[in-house]
Structure 1
Amino acid sequence: MSVSHRFTRTAARATAVATVVAAGSLLLSGTALAHVSVQPQGEAAKGGYATVNFRVPNERDDASTVKLEVSLPTEHPMAIVMPQPVPGWKVVVTKTKPAKPLESHGRKITEVVSKVTWTADGSKVGPGQFQQFPLVMGSLPENTDQVVFKALQTYDNKEVVRWIEEPAKAGGTEPELPAPVLELSAPAADHHGSGEKADGKGAGEKDAGEKNGGHGDKKESASASDDSDTTARVLAVVGILTGVAGIAFGVLAGRRRTAA
């Protein structure tokens, strides 16, 4: 077998393997992207506020998505839920009364958002496309590691896909139509009034500085200002003396030329 023939066979095998791998990757990624999901835009910390995106892919070849309904969990009501306008979509916010009033920034909240609905109004999610629907929400619950939302996706052929199945537990099989899940991270340090600062200084050092009224900084500033004033004065005096010397030298030179 010639060297060129071997190279041709080897290249053909490599191409075939690469094709199979690529096809498998596309299949797996397509499966993952087929679900309605929620992703944090930034940090979704317990007890904090976050901007989240409900990502809606179109998994039909002959229909377009024209409506999305997202239900918020009643067991974890949130005082603030605000949708961001999406061009070409009309949004409707549905509210309900919580089991007990919530407190937010000193105000008592007697109504909370239970559902947000986006309906196509000049736009739609066509085959091979996806759309994101942002919400600002908070404060996020502190007694759970995740928030489960239930979503209904409606197509223009009247088909409704119900993404409402609870997420699988560790080691379990993923449901066919899983509900969107927002994973929560540990509370931010400043949420609980931590005295630690980004530069590593603790609250004690900060308090000590505040008790001194910042006099140390003021003294340093005053000292720097005095040094600058002194330098400026010295330079001014030197400039004046230099000018006087120049004038005197000019007068003497003129007299010598006159005498000559």
Structure 2
Amino acid sequence: MTTTRRRIAHFSAAGILGVTATLIAAAPAAAHTGVTVQPARAGAENALATANAEAESDSAGVTKVQIFLPQGIAPGDITLESAPKGWKLTTDADSYTVAGPALAVGKDAQHKVRIRQLPTSATISFRVLQTYDDGRTDRWIEIPSKANPEPENPAPTVKLAGGSDTPPSAAPTSAAPSPSAAATASAPAPAPTSAATALDPVSDEAGSSLAWLWWVLAVLLVAGAGAAIAIRQRRKSA
């Protein structure tokens, strides 16, 4: 192979490696913690949610999984169905936690909870904190959006059939207006003050300013005329 061909081959290989590295870096991170819901239907009662937190540490076991609930689900609506041996359920103001003895290194932490009733929204997201026995915490808390549909650490999101995220329109009110409101509505409105009125030169302040301006201009004109006449007379006498 000639030197030129070797250089071409070298640059081609380097280019392929560079493109490959760029694509790998740009690829979104896979969600390693997932939640499934059955039935995945808006407003469904006694739905079963399965959360699977994949172990991502080579040296520590999972000890705790805390899940922050979406709007419309209260911690009191949660009942533990199954969890790793020795793990218990506790609740907080906006989340629930299942925790217990550390699992074996590399073992996923899976548990199931019963939800009294699902919200009526189209999607629900569960933000997850996954803790290991060495203190490490994986945070799957970024909710996908139109601006960022594939975040680096996405929160598990479930689509609900028949749900809607559009708020209902406000119903018109037919209540009669109060007497004070009726009196206010029947009273003639004061004439608006326009910009032209605000800057009217006939007003006292504006008139005074213009009068002084005219006096100054008159004095300057007279002084200028006198100076011009004096210069002409000097030239004639010279």
After TM superposition, the score normalised by the length of structure 1 is: 0.46
Aligned residues: 136
Provide structure 1 residue ranges, at least 5 long, that are not aligned to the other structure.
Answer: 1-27, 97-113, 188-260
The 5 A counterparts of 1:162-177 are: 162-169=139-146, 172-177=148-153
Please, which of 119, 129, 133 is the counterpart of residue 156 of structure 1? Answer: 133
1:1-260 matches, within 5 Å, as 32=30, 35-40=32-37, 42-49=38-45, 50-73=47-70, 75-78=71-74, 80-96=77-93, 114-121=94-101, 123-127=102-106, 129-142=107-120, 144-169=121-146, 172-186=148-162
Cα shift at 1:88:
1.7
Amino acid across the alignment from 1:131: A
Contact kept in structure 1, 2:131 and 2:138, CA below 8 Å: yes
Q: CA RMSD in A?
A: 2.7
Which whole-Å CA distance do the structure 1 matches of 2:103 and 2:145 have between them?
Answer: 31
Rounded to whole Å, the distance in 1 between the matches of 2:92 and 2:100 is: 21
In the alignment, what sits opposite 2:23? none
How high is the TM-score relative to the length of structure 2? 0.50
1:137-175 CA distances to partner (integer Å, 9 max, x unpaired)?
Answer: 131111x21111111111111111111111143x84511
User: Would you identify which runs of 4 or more consecutive aligned residues in structure 1 move more than 3 Å?
Assistant: none
The structure number with the bigger radius of gyration is 2
Whole-Å separation in 2 of the counterparts to 1:80 and 1:118: 15
Supply the AA of the counterpart residue of 1:124: L
**Counterparts of 1:87 and 1:159, CA distance in 2:** 19
Q: CA separation in 2, counterparts of 1:94 and 1:164? A: 18
SS in 2 for 1:141: coil
Taking every aligned residue pair, what percent have the same amino acid on both sides? 28
Q: Deviations over 1:27-63 (max 9, x none)?
A: x9xx63x5211012x3211111210101110112222
Distance 1:154 1:95, change over 3 A: closer
Instruction: Go from structure 1 to structure 2 and tell me whether the alpha carbon gap of 1:178 and 1:131 turns closer, same or farther (over 3 Å shift).
Output: same
